[in-house]
Amino acid sequence: MTTMEVCLLLAGVLILLVVIGVRVAFATALIGFIGMFSFYAFDKGYPLDRSFIITLKLIGQIPHSKTESHVLALIPTFILIGYLAYFAGFTRALFEAAKRWVGWLPGGLGVSTVFATAGFAAVSGASVATSAVFARIAIPEMLKVGYDKRFAAGVVAAGGTLASLIPPSAILVIYAIITESSVGKLLMAGFLPGLVSALIYGALIVLLAKTRKDLGPPVKGFTWKERFEALPGTIPILFVVFIIIYCIYAGWGTPTEAGALGAFVVLVMALMHGTKWEQLKGALMESAKLTAMIFTMIWGVLIYVRYLGFADLPGAFADFITGLEQSPMITLMFILGAYVILGMFMDAIGMLILTLPITFPAVIALNGGPSVSYADSALGMSGENCAIWFGIIVVKMAELCLITPPIGLNCFVVAGVRPEISAQDVFRGASPFFVADVITVGVLISFPQIVLWLPNILLG
């Protein structure tokens, strides 16, 4: 068998392992080890014992060499910001303000939940954490006033996905590391698409609530005085968002330093609000667990990515894509369609770090190459802008994984936090938001300046 045939065979085995339930981190590390061993033993013709030793040395070096980068420090700091904000009570204040201002709309508490999750996403880098937090806060409020339980759970599961797009976002940082793109520009690029996505979610909720009056009744009775009284509680969240953005924009520090500063500011405000040691301990423990999970996944996938580099599968796939007799946009649609299918069987982070080493070079080649100018590009943007734009598109596609069966992690998280609502009910409640996400992706593809305007204006 040729190197490429072995690579494709192992890729098929990897997909099978993931489908049958093997963790992405362990499946990718195992296949990467087997692939590199076969490369040295059969392609290079080294003795088996020497091939085994070389492979062991390589996979032992990869986790340290690839994750010692200070950029990865963004992930635990962003996650910590979110958990500190929750345990300090800032999240509940955000939801209360949203409820008082937009609760009067049909499905108003659902719209409030979406806007509150968008606000919380601006200080939390993890979709899972966002869904877990609002399953505790928002679902009881919606059920209390007569919301359909499926609808309420679906709103929370879908709203939690906004943390993948709105910075600080752990998944955007992972994309930047794998593709060697600008972390600062990617973080800035997520704001407007995140806002567009939240608005489309809100419009969908209002439409559904108008269609079925019993789905999500409005909440009325708040005076203007009560609405304005709720605003001071949102100041800590808004202040942290401002600190992070201004730190990056003004050049005070790197995105990593901005994340660390944001975590420190939230910690100080949490202590000022009387947060107790047990709550701080909870925030630290939850942050550590989620960070460990993400880093383990990155280590495993990087071993597999190293093998893909040996086999040159990314280059071969890029050549195949650019050789297709289809327009670049049609080809892009096929790639995004593949993400929809993969998202049914893989979690968002695992899917991206598994596929990006192959799909990213293909899309960049499809546009004309990494250094192509606007005038010569096939997709109508420069090489750097294409990398930023594709990052936002592919992360939005990854959000679909979080609410689509059978893997949809956000849905399982909501069901786990609210045992009275089954996972099947959560999936059914979240299904209309799949349509909303498809519409959002269509808007971002049709109007790429929604993605590119802010990073180009602020960071050039």
pLDDT band at 393 (very low <50, low <70, confident <90, very high): very high
10 shares a domain with 142: no
| In-domain check, residue 60 | yes
Structure tokens at 332: 């892009």
Q: How many CB atoms lie within 10 A of CB 443?
A: 14
Q: What is the dihedral sign for C-alpha 442, 443, 447, 453? A: negative
| In-domain check, residue 110 | yes
- Has residue 367 got a pLDDT over 90? no
117 shares a domain with 95: yes
Residue 142 CA, chain-centre distance (Å), reads 26
Domains in the chain: how many in total? 2
309-335 pLDDT per residue, tens: 777 776 777 677 767 777 888 888 888
Between 76 and 201, residue with greater pLDDT? 201
| In-domain check, residue 400 | no
DSSP label at 252? S
pLDDT band at 244 (very low <50, low <70, confident <90, very high): confident
- Cis bond upstream, residue 63 (ω within 30): no
184 shares a domain with 62: no
Region of poorest pLDDT, from 173-177, 344-348, 422-426: 344-348
Structure tokens at 211: 């269609």
163 shares a domain with 40: no
- Considering 291, 312, 331, which residue would you say is the last residue of a domain? 291
133 shares a domain with 29: no
Mean pLDDT of 57-78: 73
58 shares a domain with 101: no
266 shares a domain with 130: yes
151 shares a domain with 52: no
By residue range, what is the domain housing residue 274?
A: 70-291
Q: DSSP labels for 185-202?
A: HHHHHTHHHHHHHHHHHH
Give the closest residue to 34 by CA, choosing from 19, 20, 13: 13
- Considering 28, 50, 68, which residue would you say is the last residue of a domain? 68
126 shares a domain with 15: no
191 shares a domain with 91: yes
| In-domain check, residue 337 | no
Residue 243: per-residue pLDDT: 85
| In-domain check, residue 353 | no
| In-domain check, residue 341 | no
Q: How many CB atoms lie within 10 A of CB 218?
A: 18
Using CA atoms, how far residue 109 sits from 115, 142, 204, 408, in Å, is 10, 6, 13, 23
Residues recorded for the chain = 460
102 shares a domain with 58: no
201-231 pLDDT per residue, tens: 999 999 999 888 778 888 888 888 999 998 8
| In-domain check, residue 281 | yes
284 shares a domain with 171: yes
Highest mean pLDDT among 189-193, 243-247, 414-418: 189-193
- Considering 238, 268, 291, which residue would you say is the last residue of a domain? 291
